[in-house]
Amino acid sequence: MARIEDIAKKLKVSKGTVSKALNGAPDVSETLRKAVLETAVELGYSRSMHKKGAKTLCLFIENMTYTEPGDFGYDIVTGFRKAAEPAGFVVRVVPLAEQLQAQISYDEYMLQNNYVAAFFLGLSLSDVWLDQLKASRTPAVLLDNRIPANPASCYVGVDNGEAMDLAIAHLKALGHRRVGYLSGYLGSYINQVRYNAFFQALQKNGLPDDPCLAGSAYYSSECLQKHLPALLEQKVTAILCSHDLLAHTVMIHCQERGLRVPEDISIIGFDDLPLCGYTVPPLTTLRQDRTQLGKSAFYALSSLLAEVPISTLLLHPKLMVRQSTGSAPPQP
Amino acid sequence: MARIEDIAKKLKVSKGTVSKALNGAPDVSETLRKAVLETAVELGYSRSMHKKGAKTLCLFIENMTYTEPGDFGYDIVTGFRKAAEPAGFVVRVVPLAEQLQAQISYDEYMLQNNYVAAFFLGLSLSDVWLDQLKASRTPAVLLDNRIPANPASCYVGVDNGEAMDLAIAHLKALGHRRVGYLSGYLGSYINQVRYNAFFQALQKNGLPDDPCLAGSAYYSSECLQKHLPALLEQKVTAILCSHDLLAHTVMIHCQERGLRVPEDISIIGFDDLPLCGYTVPPLTTLRQDRTQLGKSAFYALSSLLAEVPISTLLLHPKLMVRQSTGSAPPQP
């Protein structure tokens, strides 16, 4: 692991200058500061080994609301803080804007801001930084995203295979045989994982698994206008959705078409957002414990900082049975 | 969660009697003690919530040597102790004998011995307790084994998918196209996972993935006498093995057949046992950091005791490139 001396030697400047540049002192030129940061990244200099006092963790948030209790991200952020702050860390929440990623490389951004490690909520497969994370030496934990073969990175989430098994086994016990799946955009890692897990669960439970039993779209309007009618034509008696908000809209659309939930069709969501208890009927869903996800993310991060190379940390999901699932309707 | 009062009420005895029975006092009859234990299990009474002072964890070992440095289990047990004992726990190592499992149920055994949680090294799919673990409420962490849908149980191990990807990508970069796989008994969960991960890695890397490229057997003699010649007939130029000891024997057998390692055939093991540096040639293998596995198992266990429902905790493997792998031989 490189030291300040190594950066100084390479750039032929003094250690004091490197230190000032790393700490953003105003009397270091912008050109030199940039050269120091780039050399630091190139040599693998890591702030975590050198900084004294409280260390700062960066929590990146993209496309995800988190400021209000009830938002998907709120409990995760709170859980993460609850674990990190008593352990002596400072947590900064930073929006993961495309513009930021275009301006500066990930490693440089982390170094420049004295962040020792990052927790990513909602990185998408098209993000520019995703590629840079593959080679980064800065510890990073990603919710619902996986960077393979980088010992400084860890995937945290819920066990989606187990979740789909719980849902399909529940529907099978209620007599359902043809189960459909509606998913958000498959350009996200987590939607791909859930999509595959859905079909694996059908196979495991001995139910039909034709590819035509699933549909996905970036906009939920497309799911509703195109895929939902197609599933109903396929005579599905139950529909699982990749997210609660989608499940709620699907439930309303089914009801508008004159179908009773759950007498004619059963609906299952994913996440257990607070709204699930208040929909009509209340939504059966797969619960992710968001506070525990946040706490687990901090544990994974502190392990990576201690050079314990955790790759994956998954939580057990819980099937929350409410009133949107019931016995399969009698077959004609 | 049931209390001592609940057990006392159900059996119509005093709380003091229940307490004495749970603590194995000599003035409680064997019949009553058994009734108390069975009722405790039935009602979901958990010792972890009630016992004062140091808590005892049970580390079950089956078919696995661990007493000497160099044994597979040694560093795992040591890593586990290193994390558990400073945290105030007592660790007892218990051989997981078939006879024990036949005599007493898992939950009763744990209660009777005041163990608050268990760590299993080497449970096999045919063990009687495996089924009981599915419904047990006592926190249990299993190395290389998975109990689905039990929030009190967690699977700890290395990321086998990533491991197989690392090995296959390494061989592909060396020009190998036909890669074979030899595995221990597929009646163990971990061997099944590695077997499937091998074929997924071939597919991911665009290499041939005929089922005839793999062989498995309970006895390594069968692997050597039946599957190894079959793989060589299939013109494989590299062989991956599910465990280092198997890889070492395969390497010797190849050499006895006049094949040079790695000029004619490359060999890769799995685990990175200390012997890998001393074989001729030294064995390229996939490293599992056993000390970190032990420490991670304790972390998972303490999370389950704190009711954080961790399902899976995997570590990054590391490809240790030594001299048993080299460029693929020129094709005739």
| Interface probe with B: pick from A168, A293, A315, A319, most Cβ of B within 10 Å | A315
Q: Residue B71 and residue A128: Cα distance in Å, rounded?
A: 45
pLDDT for A214-270, tens place per residue?
Answer: 999 988 888 889 999 999 999 999 999 999 999 999 999 999 999 999 999 999 999
Whether residue A281 is preceded by a cis peptide bond, meaning omega within 30 degrees of 0, is yes
Position of tokens 């700062």?
Answer: A56
CB contact under 8 A, B151 and A316: yes
Strands B310-315 and A310-315 come out as antiparallel
Q: Return the half-sphere exposure (C-beta side, CA atoms, 13 A cut-off) of residue A266.
A: 26
| Interface probe with B: pick from A155, A272, A312, most Cβ of B within 10 Å | A312
Full-model pTM: 0.80
Say how many C-beta atoms besides its own lie within 10 A of residue B230's C-beta.
14
Give Cα separations from B37 to A113, B8, B47, B119 (angstroms). 57, 11, 11, 21
Contacts of A295 in chain B (CB under 8 A): 308
Contacts of A318 in chain B (CB under 8 A): 151, 309
The answer to whether B253 and B182 have CB atoms below 8 angstroms apart is no
Q: What is the pLDDT along chain B (332 residues), one digit of tens a residue?
A: 678 888 899 888 998 888 888 877 888 887 888 788 878 877 777 665 444 567 899 999 976 566 676 677 888 998 998 888 888 899 999 988 888 999 999 999 999 899 999 999 988 778 889 999 999 999 999 999 998 889 999 999 999 999 999 999 999 999 999 999 999 999 888 999 999 999 999 999 999 999 999 999 988 888 889 999 999 999 999 999 999 999 999 999 999 999 999 999 999 999 998 889 999 999 999 999 999 999 999 999 989 998 889 999 999 999 999 999 999 998 76
Tokens of B195: 């077997």
> Phi and psi at residue B138, in whole multiples of 5°?
-80, 125
Inter-residue long-range contacts of B1-6, CB under 8 Å, 24+ positions, other chains counted: B1/B44, B1/B45, B1/B46, B1/B49, B2/B40, B2/B43, B2/B44, B2/B45, B3/B45, B3/B50, B4/B45, B4/B50, B6/B43, B6/B45
Q: Residue A223 and residue A227: Cα distance in Å, rounded?
A: 5
Q: Which of B329, B279, B331, B325 is nearest to B169 (CA)?
A: B325
Q: Which residues of A touch B (CB under 8 A)?
A: 148-151, 158-159, 162, 165-166, 289, 292, 295-296, 299, 303, 308-316, 318
CB pairs under 8 A between A and B: 73
User: Predicted ipTM?
Assistant: 0.75
Sheet holding A266-271, edge to edge: A214-216, A179-183, A238-241, A266-271, A284-287, A318-320
Inter-residue long-range contacts of B70-74, CB under 8 Å, 24+ positions, other chains counted: B70/B273, B70/B274, B70/B275, B72/B271, B72/B273, B72/B290, B73/B121, B73/B122, B74/B290
The answer to whether B277 and B217 have CB atoms below 8 angstroms apart is no
Tokens of B318: 């590391």
